[in-house]
A = this chain, B = another copy of it.
């Protein structure tokens, strides 16, 4: 078996697709049933189902079954985790940049 993929990796992949971002945007406002999510989007309802699966697998959204309706909503914990991860991600990138700038400084004095 190939090694497991982390949640942050999955989240990056999930948000890499514009249609999935559009879906996530919709759910950011309020929870919605699948039909309502598909409404207005330029793709079919089954396509939306497939995207929802990917977003759910990345822990960015969660499901809430109500009768025949599957209500999707943003996943608080998953989003907090991703946000946390990204904070470090950017911090490290900018940290390396800062370090570099300081070395530059040193070379010029």
Contact = CB atoms under 8 A, between A and B. Distances in A.
Interface string A83-103: 100100110111011001000
In the complex, the count of this chain's copies comes to 2
A73 B100 contact: yes
A109 interface: no
Q: What bracket does the count of chain A residues touching chain B fall in?
A: 20 to 34
Interface hub of A30, A82, A92, A97 (most chain B Cβ within 10 A): A97
A76 interface: yes
Nearest to A95: B28
Interface of A: 9, 12-13, 15-18, 21, 24, 27-31, 73-74, 76, 79-80, 82-83, 86, 89-90, 92-94, 96-97, 100
